[in-house]
């Protein structure tokens, strides 16, 4: 396949580009580098452009295409910021994606894998969330992703756009070969913050938000999925769209939950030292348990995660974190 990867300089996009190359697929990356890293684009042709400029998208699709598949990762993704700056999120995540979809229609491209999120579900009604769980997002970030999921259905009916929306739970880990990894500014994810606190010593204590949730150890339980498992799901989704028409959605997770304290304990074992932390007030809107039911992805796409234990996931992140290359 020849694949256009929008947001391919970011954390998940760059891992997918490496995996695409491994399987002899060609890729072109489009990124505005607002949060991505130019040095992470090593397996693709790179074009600096912005999805908020529809003319640029049309030109890229015409000049660089045709593409067998488009993967879309360009999104603002900080929940707290989305509450403070909703216009930024609706403009980038919704308007930007509409620009892309319209450019696809104009240039005759009809296959899209869309990066969605578990945030479309809002507060869960049960511990394990399948695709039929009601979608009631509680912040503009989740709402912006839900809006696009709905738009994809409409664009399929009206224009024949075929799509798969992949709803991530907690993406984590790094390339097992150590070439690329997770680097955000600011960093909000638990595992990289644990590793940063371990190397920073007492100058940067890890913050644990809440220890009185109705869980066995009082901390939130989450479903952690390795970034390479996400990458393989995207490729399988793209292959699925080559022979199936519709607007599909799949949840992606391990199906096992780990509490914050369990992740800290596992990280301490991996790096060989204790992790100091402070207990902070719980964050508003954090559900006690958030775990994916990913059976549908297994049945339909033939996808299964390779990284199923938290220590092996952390080990890949630790290897990269000690030797950050960009």
Q: What is the mean pLDDT of residues 40-66?
A: 96
Second-level CATH architecture of 2-172+224-252: 3-Layer(aba) Sandwich (3.40)
Rg over CA atoms, the chain: 19
Q: Where in the chain is the domain with CATH 3.90.25.10?
A: 190-223+255-322
**Domain 190-223+255-322 belongs to what architecture?**
Alpha-Beta Complex (3.90)
| Residue 243 predicted with pLDDT over 80 | yes
The predicted pLDDT at position 203 comes to: 53
Tokens representing 164 are: 């798969």
> 57 pLDDT band (50/70/90 cuts)?
very high
pLDDT, average across residues 252-261: 93
Burial grade of 104 (CB within 10 A; 0-12, 13-18, 19 or more): buried
128-167: pLDDT as tens digits: 999 999 999 989 999 999 999 999 999 999 999 999 999 9
pLDDT of residue 326: 42
**pLDDT tens for each residue of 186-197:** 777 889 888 888
Comma-separated ranges of CATH 3.40.50.720 domains in the chain? 2-172+224-252
Stretch 48-61: mean pLDDT: 96
Cβ atoms of 173 and 313 within 8 Å: the answer is yes
User: One of 89, 90, 141, 168 is an active-site residue; which one?
Assistant: 141
**pLDDT of 205:** 83
pLDDT tens for 62-111 read 999 999 999 999 999 888 888 899 999 999 999 999 999 999 999 999 99
Quote the pLDDT of residue 283.
79
State residue 195's pLDDT score.
87
Q: Establish whether 141 is a catalytic residue.
A: yes
Give the E-state strand segments of 177-307 in sequence order.
206-209, 221-222, 224-226, 247-252, 258-259, 277-280, 289-292
Mean pLDDT for the stretch of residues 216-235: 95
Two structure tokens written together for 166: 């992949």
Query: pLDDT at position 196, please?
Result: 83
pLDDT of residue 188: 75
Query: Which distant-in-sequence residues (6+ apart) come within 8 Å of 187 by Cβ?
Result: 193, 196
Whether the per-residue pLDDT at 202 is higher than 60: the answer is no
Structure confidence at residue 231 (pLDDT): 97
- What's the mean pLDDT in 250-263? 94
């Amino acid at each position: 396949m020849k694949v256009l990867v929008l947001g391919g300089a970011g954390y998940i996009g760059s891992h997918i580009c490496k995996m695409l190359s491994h399987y002899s697929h060609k890729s072109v990356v489009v990124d505005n580098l607002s949060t991505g890293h130019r040095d992470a684009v090593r397996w693709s042709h790179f074009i600096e452009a912005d999805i908020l400029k529809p003319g640029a998208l049309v030109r890229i699709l015409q000049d660089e295409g045709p593409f067998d598949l488009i993967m879309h990762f360009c999104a603002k993704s900080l929940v707290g910021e989305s509450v403070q700056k909703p216009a930024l999120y609706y403009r980038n995540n919704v308007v930007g994606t509409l620009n892309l979809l319209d450019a696809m229609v104009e240039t005759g491209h009809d296959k899209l894998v869309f990066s969605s999120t578990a945030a479309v579900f809002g507060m869960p009604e049960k511990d394990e969330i399948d695709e039929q769980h009601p979608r009631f997002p509680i912040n503009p970030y989740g709402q912006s992703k839900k809006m696009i999921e709905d738009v994809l259905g409409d664009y399929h009916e009206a224009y024949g756009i075929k799509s798969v929306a992949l709803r991530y739970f907690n993406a984590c880990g790094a390339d097992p070969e150590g070439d690329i990894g997770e680097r955000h500014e600011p960093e909000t994810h638990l595992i990289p913050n644990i590793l940063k606190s371990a190397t920073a010593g007492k100058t940067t204590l890890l913050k644990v938000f809440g220890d009185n949730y109705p869980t066995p150890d009082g901390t939130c339980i989450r479903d952690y999925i390795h970034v390479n498992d996400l990458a393989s799901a995207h490729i399988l989704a793209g292959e699925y769209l080559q022979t199936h028409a519709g607007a599909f959605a799949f949840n992606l997770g391990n199906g096992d939950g780990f509490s914050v304290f369990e992740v800290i304990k596992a990280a301490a074992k991996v790096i060989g030292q204790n992790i100091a932390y402070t207990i902070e007030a719980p964050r508003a809107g954090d559900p006690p348990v958030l775990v994916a039911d990913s059976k549908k992805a297994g049945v339909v796409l033939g996808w299964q995660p390779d990284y199923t234990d938290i220590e092996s996931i952390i080990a890949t992140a630790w290897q990269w974190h000690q030797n950050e290359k960009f």
